Amino acid sequence: MNTAGADGRPTRPQPDDPTEDDALFALEPGAFTKARKEAAARARAAGDRAGAARIRSLRRPTIAAFAVNRLARTHPDEVRALLELGRALRQAQEELAGPALRELSARRHRLVAALTAQARATAAEAGVRLGEAQLREVEQTLRAALASPQAADEVAAGRLSAAVEEPTVLPAAAAGGPVKKAGKAAAASRPGAHGGKEEREEGREPGAVREAARQEARRRVAEARGELKTAEQRERDAAQQRDRLAAQVEDLAARHEQAQDGIDRAQAVLRRAQDHAEGAAAVLTERRGDLDLATAEAAGAHAAAVRAREEYETARRAAEQEGER
C-alpha cells in the first residue's frame, strides 16, 4: 500500500518497501490475477483510488519474468554480483580495456549460466517449470541487466512482467567510445593550447595517432564482441540440443518405467492365474477321487441289490411250492 509523507500526502512506494506490488510479484503467475483483483479491491475500500488503479494496471508476469523475480528475492547476493559485473563491463567498455573486457566477458558467461540454472531451480521449488523458450528469456534478461543500468534496476526490483530485451551494444559503446577527460589534460591535448603555429602543427600528429588508436581499439572491441556473441550463440544452441536430448532420455526412461510396470502387473496377474489353475487342478483331482469312490460304492450297492433280488425270488418260489403241498 502507499505510505504518507510528511505533508500527509500519499508517497510513491519505494522499491525496498514491503508493498502490495512486492506481494503480487512474489506469487506464481497462475495466482497473480486473482490476487491483483483482491489487492485493488482493498485499496479501493481504503479510499486509495489511485493505488487501486495502479494495482489494476500491473501486468501478470510471464513464466520467465516470474523466475527472474523469484531469483532476485531468493538470491539477492548473486544478483547483486551480476549487477556489479555489469558495471565493471561497462566501465571496461568505456575505457577500451581489452584484457579486462576479455576477463570480464568470461566471468559474464559463467555467471549468467549459473544464475539461469539457479532461476530454473528456484522456479521449480515454487511448482513452476521452465521450458527451453523460458530459459532463453531468463538468460536474455540477465544479459540485459549486464548491459543496461535501467534493466539492472528492473531486475533488482523483482517486479518484471516480461523478459527484458538485451541491447545490441553496451551503453558506453553506443555513446560513441571513451569519455574524454576534462581539465588540464584535456586542454593540453587541444591544438593551440600553448599557442604558436609550430606547437599547433606538432599537436596534430599525436592527436591523429590517438584518434587512430581509439578507432582501432573500438574496431577490435566490436570484433571481439561479435566473436563472443557467435560463441555464446553456439553454446546456447549446444545447450538447447543437450536439453532436448535430456528431455528425450527422460521421456524414454519414463516410458521404459511404465512398460516395466505393465510387465510387472502382467506377471503378477499371470502368477495369480497360475495359482488359481493349480488350486483348480488340486480340487479337480480331489473331486475325481470322490467320483471314483462314489462309483465304486454305487457298483457295490447295485451288486447287493441284485443279490437281494435273487434271494427274494428264491424265497418267493420256495414259499409258493410249500403252499402247493
- Residue 145 CA to residue 95 CA, distance in Å, equals 20
Per the listing, cell 563491463 goes with 89
DSSP structure string for 164-175: PPPPSS-HHHHT
pLDDT in tens, 255-275: 776 777 778 788 888 888 888
Residue 196 pLDDT grade (very low, low, confident, very high; cuts 50, 70, 90): very low
pLDDT in tens, 309-324: 888 889 888 888 887 7
What are 86's three cell numbers? Answer: 555489469
Q: How many CB atoms lie within 10 A of CB 83?
A: 18
pLDDT in tens, 45-66: 999 899 889 999 999 999 999 9
- Beta strand ranges found along 193-240 (DSSP E): none
Round the CA-based radius of gyration of the chain to a whole number and report it.
Answer: 45
- Residue 94 CA to residue 113 CA, distance in Å, equals 25
pLDDT in tens, 5-42: 444 443 434 333 346 788 899 898 999 999 999 999 99
Q: Are 96 and 221 in contact (CB under 8 A)?
A: yes
Q: Mean pLDDT over residues 176-203, rounded? A: 39
pLDDT in tens, 294-309: 888 888 889 888 988 8
Q: Are 63 and 128 in contact (CB under 8 A)?
A: yes
Q: Write the CB contacts of 95 (distance below 8 Å, at least 6 apart in sequence).
A: 178
Output the pTM of the full model: 0.47
Name the CA dihedral angle for 157, 163, 165, 171, rounded to a multiple of 10 degrees. Answer: 10
Q: Are 36 and 55 in contact (CB under 8 A)?
A: yes
